[in-house]
């Protein structure tokens, strides 16, 4: 048993729901107890969908247990077919139904429903959401792709590719598809089928008619892409186009697979210039901690170091299936890979990394808030604000523009940082005035957690006497701008502890500053 | 006031539609989300699957990040191999948890669908762990599983598990049963003090050491309609239930307070003079919204068992028209007064077959549909106004001072609909 408060991933049947909800003309019949319908609200609330997910739950209760549940399942499947008339159905069990051993697959297959039935076996006590999505998509492709429908000869037609991997509830999947479609169009390549998102079972049947596959999200599409390669000889892209460098590499890779010329110098958008402009100089060497799903984390690390000039001081992922990618990348940046799904371990690692920016999931956003660190979200799981109304891709050159803005925004702008340091004794820039970039003149608010649980909030707030510090040193500490004061204080106290200094003086403060200077 | 205190009419007059099929409802685990805020030294440990943890996370929203007093011991593949192993693993999790959280005085082991299907005996686990952790922590268990409980029934199961822990005392007292927001609980305590009822206590208490006593002198008012098992357990300890309407709106709150006043022999004139100011304030606050809501039709999908008393409030005090009042479970005795105050012929439905019920919603096209978050946006997309039901469980809505807020929760979606031009 594992003690958990927060999980990075849901159970595997939620992954299957993400595939089903992304598709059209497909229905999922899920053998599950009353209550499991909670997962619907992830789609209707977080992703703000205006339709119910195409899922029918058997919602059995205690009084149904026994021989009754198998019949309940068959009735639910029959009703779902009659009501929704899907082109194909997927059937499976949630964690509880897995234990009662009704075998939904076997039951559904014997019912003689007039559409293809795809049985899912998603072991919920050993696997999780991403795996469930990958397995579901793989089973759908394997069972619905028509092996007779192969790619036609190339004469007089444009090359075409399938986009594989986008699902419902995917972080920026909607806009990434738009961007990558545009990148391919610029190369003269058509998108044949985009799946699961937007595809029908009929579309899946024709997957084999594309020249090659574009794997947007390996966590979801890798298994299916490998099967398609084996079955239809379709090559697939290995580069995920997140970041300017990766997008250039992706364009070269896709052009090669399509047999079209690699463009010499594509317009890479504004990000390269923004990053070179002098206001970005202060970004140099900013210490950044990165955590998320492996694909987004690896891509973020490359952008952070090579395109923004940050120093990567931590790199990790929660999805063990792709740990190897993180290990390879971590070696490249000379950091210890962090493979864990325990957010407390991540919190400790962030606190220890002494970083200036955290790039992570919704969870890291809260960890960073608690530690008073700037943070930007780069990966699922995310909350409702990261399913924005505006166009907001991560992929392609527009994605790079978005990423530049998103990551730099939480940091104080270079000029602003300079001014704050210069005029730190001015009344307008005093602590009581609060940070101007955080919307006005309110005093630094206490984090909501602070009120609930004062003992656990790191004390990095405004002017105050500090235990273990001489009053001179406290005054000096308070002259340091608020947004770096917490770090200065932590460093000094760590330094003092190491040196066995009991009363921190101004001297100790500057000794520590010198010690930690880079 | 006499009208609202009319004797109950047999509920046989109300057509009741009983349905079985897909139920779009939460399980009882969700109750943890508000119960853990109420009982400040209790921890709720769900023994379940990743799905259970994911549900709590989805239901608790940002609360999850504030080191809340709940968690899930996730059953893994190796726990399923043999039961002895699962018990040992659970002990380890509990020991680690209690070492990390020394402020915890009461631990609930909360059963889930997976733990019940594998027949992991949590009552024996609680007994065993009580021996280890006595006297620092008391360990109890109840079921919040979807196969046993629907949404608010999780609170019922939790409170029922507390009843055997209450010490025996024959003294005359009034017990308010059901977790209420602190601000509401304080208002009720002040009102009862002014009315002249001296011994007033609440279940659940804010701290586990303040668990009230119970005995033949105990009379209790239910503050919530979903507390059937808790009421039965209290009655088994000699306590007596005071039937009343539930305290929503000016009339509901008056009737609820009146039931206790009558029982404790409070002078009628005195009672009226004490409640008059609050009652008047509530009526003024409601008048503000009545203009907007009167004549509008409303459809309740089943969610919390609050539907019947809320429908009574909206119909009797705000003039709304009831299309269908769905409830996951209908407790006829506890709801007798509210049912009696519903217009004759009100369609009540118990249980759910969600697709068929949605067909009825679409056919009736009510002005407002009260439903869960999984259905609200899809119905809005179809052009129907909705009020998401879970907010009615989390927000302070009982009593005089909240009557206006309660009406506003229903008025706001309609106001918004009128305002928007996009």
ipTM metric: 0.92
The backbone torsions φ and ψ at residue A238, rounded to the nearest 5 degrees and listed phi first, read -105, -15
Specify the pLDDT at position A418.
59
| Burial state string for B49-78 with b = 16 or more CB within 10 A and e = fewer than 16 | bbbbbbbbbbbbeebbbbebbbbbbbbbee
Q: Are B392 and B411 in contact (CB under 8 A)?
A: no
Residue A5, min C-alpha distance to chain B (Å): 5
Half-sphere exposure of B61 (CA within 13 A, CB side): 10
Whether the upstream peptide bond of residue B222 has omega within 30° of 0, thus cis, is: no
What span, in angstroms and rounded, lies between the C-alpha atoms of B387 and B370?
5
Sort out which chain A residues have CB atoms less than 8 A from B62's CB and list them: 366, 448
Residues 6+ apart with CB under 8 A from B307: B300, B325, B326, B327, B370
The SS3 call for residue A376 is strand
Cβ of A126 within 8 Å of Cβ of B77? The answer is: yes
Cβ of B92 within 8 Å of Cβ of A123? The answer is: no
B298 pLDDT band (50/70/90 cuts)? Answer: very high
**Cβ-nearest to A452 among B28, B55, B66:** B66
Please determine, for residue B347, whether its predicted confidence score (pLDDT) is greater than 90: yes
Cβ of B114 within 8 Å of Cβ of A76? The answer is: no
Sort out which chain B residues have CB atoms less than 8 A from A35's CB and list them: 25-29, 55, 113, 145-146, 150
Most A CBs within 10 Å: which of B20, B21, B50, as the mutation test of the A interface?
Answer: B50
**For residue A314, what are its two tokens?**
């931590």
**Cβ-nearest to A33 among B67, B74, B113:** B113
Cβ of A1 within 8 Å of Cβ of B92? The answer is: yes
Cβ of B75 within 8 Å of Cβ of A1? The answer is: yes
Specify the pLDDT at position A417.
63
What span, in angstroms and rounded, lies between the C-alpha atoms of B64 and B62?
5
Specify the pLDDT at position A435.
47
Which of these, B69, B66, B56, lies nearest to B30 by C-alpha position?
A: B56
B145, B161, B167, B351 from B155: Cα distances, Å: 12, 10, 21, 19
**Cβ-nearest to B114 among A2, A64, A95:** A95
Q: Is B60 on the interface with A (CB under 8 A)?
A: no
Q: Is B64 on the interface with A (CB under 8 A)?
A: yes
User: CA A476, A479, A480: angle at the middle one, nearest 5?
Assistant: 105
Per DSSP, B344 falls in state T
What span, in angstroms and rounded, lies between the C-alpha atoms of A427 and B296?
56
- What confidence tens digit (pLDDT) does each residue in B326-345 have? 999 999 999 999 999 999 98
What span, in angstroms and rounded, lies between the C-alpha atoms of A15 and A94?
11
Residue A225, min C-alpha distance to chain B (Å): 28
Q: Are A410 and A357 in contact (CB under 8 A)?
A: yes
Helical H runs in B61-138? Answer: 77-81, 83-100, 113-117, 122-133
What span, in angstroms and rounded, lies between the C-alpha atoms of B122 and B116?
9
Specify the pLDDT at position B124.
96
Specify the pLDDT at position A420.
65
Enumerate residues 230 to 259 of chain B having a beta carbon within 8 A of any beta carbon in chain A. none
**Cβ-nearest to B374 among A41, A99, A453:** A41
pTM as predicted: 0.89
Enumerate residues 170 to 229 of chain B having a beta carbon within 8 A of any beta carbon in chain A. none
Residue A367, min C-alpha distance to chain B (Å): 8
Cβ of B54 within 8 Å of Cβ of A57? The answer is: no
Question: Chain A residue with minimal CA distance to B85?
Answer: A1
Q: Is B117 on the interface with A (CB under 8 A)?
A: yes
Specify the pLDDT at position A458.
41
**For residue A476, what are its two tokens?**
């000096």
Enumerate residues 122 to 161 of chain B having a beta carbon within 8 A of any beta carbon in chain A. 145-148, 150
**Cβ-nearest to A3 among B73, B118, B145:** B73
The SS3 call for residue B142 is strand
Q: Which helix (H) or strand (E) holds B285?
A: helix B268-293
Cβ of B22 within 8 Å of Cβ of A83? The answer is: no
Residues 6+ apart with CB under 8 A from A89: A26, A27, A28, A29, A77, A80, A81, A108, A113, A115, A116, A117, A118
What span, in angstroms and rounded, lies between the C-alpha atoms of A273 and A104?
56
Tokens 């009260």 belong to residue:
B370
Q: Are strands B16-19 and A212-215 parallel, antiparallel or unpaired?
A: unpaired
Residues 6+ apart with CB under 8 A from B158: B31, B35, B108, B110, B142, B144, B204
Cβ of B55 within 8 Å of Cβ of A38? The answer is: yes
B217 pLDDT band (50/70/90 cuts)? Answer: very high
Cβ of A11 within 8 Å of Cβ of B49? The answer is: yes
Active-site residue A279, yes or no? yes
Specify the pLDDT at position A444.
42
Q: Which helix (H) or strand (E) holds A221?
A: helix A218-232
Q: Are B131 and B163 in contact (CB under 8 A)?
A: no
- What confidence tens digit (pLDDT) does each residue in B9-41 have? 555 567 899 998 999 999 999 999 999 999 999
Sort out which chain A residues have CB atoms less than 8 A from B68's CB and list them: 5
Specify the pLDDT at position A283.
92
Most A CBs within 10 Å: which of B147, B149, B361, as the mutation test of the A interface?
Answer: B147
Catalytic position from the list A79, A279, A426, A472: A279
Q: Are strands B106-111 and B138-143 parallel, antiparallel or unpaired?
A: parallel
Cβ of B58 within 8 Å of Cβ of A39? The answer is: yes
Sort out which chain A residues have CB atoms less than 8 A from B389's CB and list them: none
Residue A98, min C-alpha distance to chain B (Å): 9
Question: Chain B residue with minimal CA distance to A40?
Answer: B374
What span, in angstroms and rounded, lies between the C-alpha atoms of A272 and B7?
78
A442, B52, B84, B140, B204 from B371: Cα distances, Å: 39, 22, 42, 33, 27
What span, in angstroms and rounded, lies between the C-alpha atoms of A334 and A331?
5
Residue B345's CB: how many other CB atoms inside 10 A? 9
- Secondary structure percentages of chain B, helix, strand, coil, to 5: 50, 15, 35
Cβ of A125 within 8 Å of Cβ of B23? The answer is: no
Sort out which chain A residues have CB atoms less than 8 A from B377's CB and list them: 44-45, 48-50
What single string gives the DSSP state of each residue in A120-175?
Answer: ----TTT--HHHHHHHHHHHHHHHHS-TT--PPP-TTS--EEEEE---TT-TTHHH
* Average pLDDT score over residue span B74-98: 89
What span, in angstroms and rounded, lies between the C-alpha atoms of A124 and A326?
25
Specify the pLDDT at position A426.
57
Which phi-psi region, left, alpha or beta, contains residue A401 (left: φ > 0; alpha: ψ -120 to 50)?
alpha
Burial of A102 (0-12, 13-18, 19+ CB in 10 A): buried
Sort out which chain A residues have CB atoms less than 8 A from B25's CB and list them: 34-35, 37, 59
Cβ of A128 within 8 Å of Cβ of B50? The answer is: yes
pLDDT in tens, chain A (518 residues): 989 989 999 999 999 999 999 999 999 999 999 999 999 999 999 999 999 999 999 999 998 887 788 899 999 999 999 999 999 999 999 999 999 888 898 899 889 999 999 999 999 999 999 999 999 999 999 999 999 999 999 888 999 999 999 999 999 999 999 999 999 999 999 999 999 999 999 999 999 999 999 999 999 999 999 999 999 999 999 999 999 999 999 999 999 999 999 998 889 999 999 999 998 998 999 999 999 999 999 999 999 999 999 999 999 999 999 999 999 999 999 999 999 999 999 999 999 998 999 999 999 999 998 888 899 999 999 999 999 999 999 999 999 999 999 999 988 665 666 566 666 655 555 555 544 444 433 334 443 443 344 344 344 444 456 678 998 898 888 877 666 787 788 889 989 998 888 899 998 998 888 887 75
- What confidence tens digit (pLDDT) does each residue in B228-271 have? 999 999 999 999 999 999 999 999 999 999 999 999 999 999 99
Which of these, A49, A387, A23, lies nearest to B378 by C-alpha position?
A: A49
Most B CBs within 10 Å: which of A10, A12, A33, as the mutation test of the B interface?
Answer: A33
Residue A33, min C-alpha distance to chain B (Å): 6
**For residue A324, what are its two tokens?**
């190897």
**Cβ-nearest to A44 among B64, B65, B377:** B377
Half-sphere exposure of A219 (CA within 13 A, CB side): 32
Specify the pLDDT at position A171.
98
């Amino acid at each position: 048993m594992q003690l958990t408060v927060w999980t990075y991933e849901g159970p595997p049947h939620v992954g299957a729901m993400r595939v089903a909800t992304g598709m059209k003309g497909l229905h999922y019949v899920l053998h599950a107890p009353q209550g499991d319908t909670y997962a619907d609200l992830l789609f209707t609330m977080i992703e703000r969908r205006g339709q119910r997910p195409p899922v029918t739950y058997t919602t059995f209760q205690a009084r149904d247990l026994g021989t009754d549940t198998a019949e309940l399942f068959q009735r639910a499947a029959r009703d779902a077919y009659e009501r929704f008339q899907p082109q194909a159905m997927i059937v499976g069990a949630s964690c509880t139904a897995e234990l009662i051993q009704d075998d939904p697959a076997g039951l559904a297959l014997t019912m003689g429903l007039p559409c293809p039935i795809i049985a899912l076996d998603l072991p919920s006590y050993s696997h999780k959401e991403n795996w469930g999505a990958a397995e579901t998509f793989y089973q759908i492709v394997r069972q619905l792709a028509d092996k007779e429908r192969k790619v036609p000869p190339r004469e007089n037609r444009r090359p075409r590719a399938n986009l594989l991997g986008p699902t419902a509830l995917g972080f920026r999947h909607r806009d990434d598809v738009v961007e990558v479609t545009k990148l391919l169009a610029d190369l003269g390549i058509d998108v044949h089928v985009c799946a699961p998102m937007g595809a029908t079972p009929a579309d899946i049947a024709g997957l084999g008619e594309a020249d090659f596959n574009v794997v947007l999200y390996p966590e979801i599409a890798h298994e299916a892409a490998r099967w398609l390669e084996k079955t239809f000889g379709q090559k697939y892209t290995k580069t995920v186009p997140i970041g300017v460098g990766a997008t250039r590499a992706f364009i070269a890779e896709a052009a090669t697979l399509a047999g079209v010329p690699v463009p010499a110098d594509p317009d890479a958008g504004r990000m390269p210039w923004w990053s070179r402009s002098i206001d970005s100089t202060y970004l140099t060497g900013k210490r950044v901690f990165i955590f998320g799903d492996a694909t987004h984390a690896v891509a973020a690390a490359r952008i952070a170091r090579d395109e923004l000039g940050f120093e990567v001081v931590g790199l990790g992922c929660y999805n063990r299936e792709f740990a190897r990618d993180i290990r390879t990348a971590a070696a490249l940046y000379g950091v210890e890979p962090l493979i864990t799904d325990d957010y407390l371990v991540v919190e400790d690692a962030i606190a220890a990394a002494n970083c200036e920016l955290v790039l992570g999931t919704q969870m890291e956003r809260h960890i960073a808030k608690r530690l008073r660190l700037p943070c930007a979200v780069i990966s699922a799981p995310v909350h409702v604000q990261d399913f924005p109304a505006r166009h907001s891709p991560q992929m392609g050159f527009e994605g790079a523009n978005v990423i530049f803005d998103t990551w730099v925004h939480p940091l104080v702008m270079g000029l602003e940082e300079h001014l704050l340091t210069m005029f730190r004794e001015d009344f307008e820039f005093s602590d009581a005035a609060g940070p101007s970039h955080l919307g006005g003149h309110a005093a630094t608010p206490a984090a909501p957690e602070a009120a609930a649980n004062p003992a656990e909030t790191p004390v990095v707030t405004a002017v105050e006497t500090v235990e273990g510090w001489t009053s001179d040193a406290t005054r000096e500490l308070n002259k340091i701008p608020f947004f770096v004061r917490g770090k200065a204080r932590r460093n000094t106290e760590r330094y003092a502890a190491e040196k066995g200094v009991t009363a921190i003086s101004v001297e100790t403060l500057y000794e520590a500053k010198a010690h930690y200077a880079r | 006031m006499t009208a609202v205190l009319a004797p109950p009419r047999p509920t046989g007059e109300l057509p009741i539609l009983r349905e079985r099929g897909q139920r779009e409802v939460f399980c009882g685990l969700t109750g943890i989300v508000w119960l853990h805020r109420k009982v400040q030294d209790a921890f709720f440990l769900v023994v379940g699957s990743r799905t259970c943890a994911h549900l709590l996370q989805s239901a608790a929203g940002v609360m999850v990040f504030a080191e809340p007093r709940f968690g899930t011991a996730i059953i893994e593949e190796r726990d399923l191999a043999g039961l002895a192993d699962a018990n040992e693993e659970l002990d380890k999790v509990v020991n680690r948890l209690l070492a990390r959280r020394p402020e915890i005085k009461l631990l609930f082991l909360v059963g889930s669908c997976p733990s019940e299907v594998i027949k992991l005996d949590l009552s024996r686990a609680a007994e065993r762990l009580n021996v280890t952790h006595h006297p620092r922590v008391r360990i109890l268990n109840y079921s919040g599983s979807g196969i046993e409980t629907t949404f608010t029934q999780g609170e019922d199961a939790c409170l029922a598990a507390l009843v055997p822990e209450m010490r025996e005392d024959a003294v005359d007292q009034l017990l308010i049963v059901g977790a209420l927001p602190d601000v509401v609980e304080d208002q009720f305590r002040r009102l009862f003090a002014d009315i002249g009822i001296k011994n007033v206590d609440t279940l659940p208490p804010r701290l586990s050491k303040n668990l009230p006593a119970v005995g033949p002198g105990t009379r209790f008012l239910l503050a919530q309609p979903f507390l059937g098992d808790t009421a039965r357990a209290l009655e088994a300890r000699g306590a007596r239930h005071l039937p009343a309407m539930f305290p929503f709106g000016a009339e509901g709150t008056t009737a609820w307070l009146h039931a206790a006043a009558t029982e404790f022999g409070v002078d009628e004139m005195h009672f009226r003079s004490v409640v008059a100011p609050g009652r008047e304030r509530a009526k003024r606050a409601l008048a503000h919204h009545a203009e907007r809501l009167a004549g509008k039709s409303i459809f309740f999908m089943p969610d919390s068992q609050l539907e019947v008393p809320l429908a009574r409030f909206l119909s009797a005090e705000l003039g709304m028209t009831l299309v269908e009042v769905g409830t996951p479970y209908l407790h006829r005795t506890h709801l007798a007064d509210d049912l009696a105050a519903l217009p004759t012929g009100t369609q009540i439905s118990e249980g759910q077959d969600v697709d068929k019920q949605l067909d009825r919603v679409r056919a009736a096209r009510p002005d407002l549909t009260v439903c869960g978050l999984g259905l609200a946006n899809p119905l809005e997309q179809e052009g129907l106004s909705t009020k998401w039901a879970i907010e009615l469980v989390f927000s302070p809505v009982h009593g005089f001072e909240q009557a206006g807020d309660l009406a506003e929760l229903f008025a706001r979606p309609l106001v918004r609909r009128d305002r928007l031009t996009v």
